Amino acid sequence: MKIKRGSFLLLPAWRCKDGRVLLIQDMETSHLTNTVAMLRRKGYVSEQEAVDAPRPMSFGGEYAQMFADAQFDVEMNDWLRQKIHLGLGHLERELAQRAVAHVH
């Protein structure tokens, strides 16, 4: 598919390292699998996974609350350092749809 520079796509697409743009729905299953594996190896998470931010907890004891606050700080720092890839969820959903379609 030839995409004009600056154009807006309504369907999820993937830009290959050679510059080609492929609609995710048109990618070969092996290409989808390899793309997801590469993104995961590089430490990316999907947008949905990143939405699940840690929540602070409240305790009655002073020391318990200090521990909970410290733990929350650690979890929040980890959460803020995530590498989010906006296309990863689309790629994984397409793979899941193909797996279901293949079974039926």
Q: Looking at the whole model, is its pTM more than 0.75?
A: no
Number of domains the chain is built from = 1
Which of 45, 49, 99, 53 has its CA nearest to residue 77? 53
Residue 2 covered by a domain: no
Residue 61 is predicted with a pLDDT of 84
Cα-Cα end-to-end distance for the chain: 30
Task: Between 60 and 33, name the one with better pLDDT.
Answer: 33
Residue 64 covered by a domain: yes
Residue 58 covered by a domain: yes
Residue 39 is predicted with a pLDDT of 96
How many secondary structure helices (H) and strands (E) does the chain include?
4, 4
Give the domain extent around 18. Answer: 13-103
Residue 5 covered by a domain: no
For the stretch 40-92, pLDDT in tens is 999 999 988 877 767 777 777 888 888 888 888 888 887 777 888 889 999 99
Residue 4 covered by a domain: no
Task: Between 8 and 101, name the one with better pLDDT.
Answer: 101
Residue 94 covered by a domain: yes
